[in-house]
């Protein structure tokens, strides 16, 4: 209830006394707090030095029935600061704007980013959409100073790293 009291205080000071507005702010704060607590502490502050290591951490994505895109936020020593599920799509496609990945990376204080995507159909070969998204992420990362370290596609039989394949 501490969160509720804090939010209620903030809203009363700003003159927002509408009960529904207060309730929505409370739910939003709970959602953010709960998500932060969901982060697996075993992943944090560990270096993500190779695609094999990242694949080992996110191998469970190969069992997902929907396409998921996960962003790993890294510091300058390539240690994982945080990660997020940036998008969940259908069985074959996902809609994701690069700004969604970089917004949270910048808020986390990341100096670089790794993107992990699963293919529910099992093939770890990147699709044309994956390649276009990776190109856009590299371009935006260059502008923002938050480099895309790798784009890893997880499938049933393993993974494909675009950096290892020399795609960027």
pLDDT tens-digit series, residues 144-162: 999 999 999 999 989 999 9
| Of residues 11 and 129, more confidently modeled | 129
pLDDT surpasses 90 at 36:
no
pLDDT value for 20: 73
Q: What is the pLDDT of residues 74-91, one digit of tens each?
A: 999 999 988 899 999 988
22-28 average pLDDT score: 65
Cα 125 to Cα 25: distance, rounded to the nearest angstrom: 42
* Nearest by Cα to 103 from 84, 129, 80, 81: 84
Cα 71 to Cα 81: distance, rounded to the nearest angstrom: 11
Structure tokens at 93: 């496609």
Percent of the chain with pLDDT over 70: 74
Q: CB within 8 A of 145, min separation 6: which ones?
A: 111
pLDDT value for 8: 47
Cα 130 to Cα 150: distance, rounded to the nearest angstrom: 12
Least confident of 13-17, 59-63, 129-133: 13-17
Structure tokens at 141: 């990362």
Reduced to 3 DSSP states, what percent helix, strand and coil does the chain have, rounded to the nearest 5?
45, 25, 35
User: 112-118 and 147-155: which strand pairing?
Assistant: parallel
Structure pTM? 0.74
């Amino acid at each position: 209830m501490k969160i509720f009291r804090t939010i209620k205080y903030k809203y009363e000071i700003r003159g927002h006394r509408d009960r529904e507005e207060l309730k929505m702010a409370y739910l939003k704060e709970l959602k953010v707090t709960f998500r932060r607590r969901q982060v697996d502490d075993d992943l944090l502050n560990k270096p993500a030095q190779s695609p094999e290591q990242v694949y080992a951490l996110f191998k469970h994505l190969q069992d997902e029935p929907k396409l998921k895109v996960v962003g790993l936020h890294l510091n300058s020593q390539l240690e994982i600061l945080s990660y997020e599920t940036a998008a969940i799509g259908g069985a074959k496609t996902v809609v994701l704007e690069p700004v969604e990945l970089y917004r949270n990376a910048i808020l986390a204080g990341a100096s670089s980013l790794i993107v992990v995507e699963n293919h529910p159909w099992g093939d770890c070969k990147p699709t044309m959409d994956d390649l276009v998204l990776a190109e856009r992420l590299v371009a935006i990362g260059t502008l923002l100073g938050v480099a895309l370290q790798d784009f890893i596609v997880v499938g049933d039989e393993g993974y494909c790293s675009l950096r290892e394949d020399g795609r960027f």
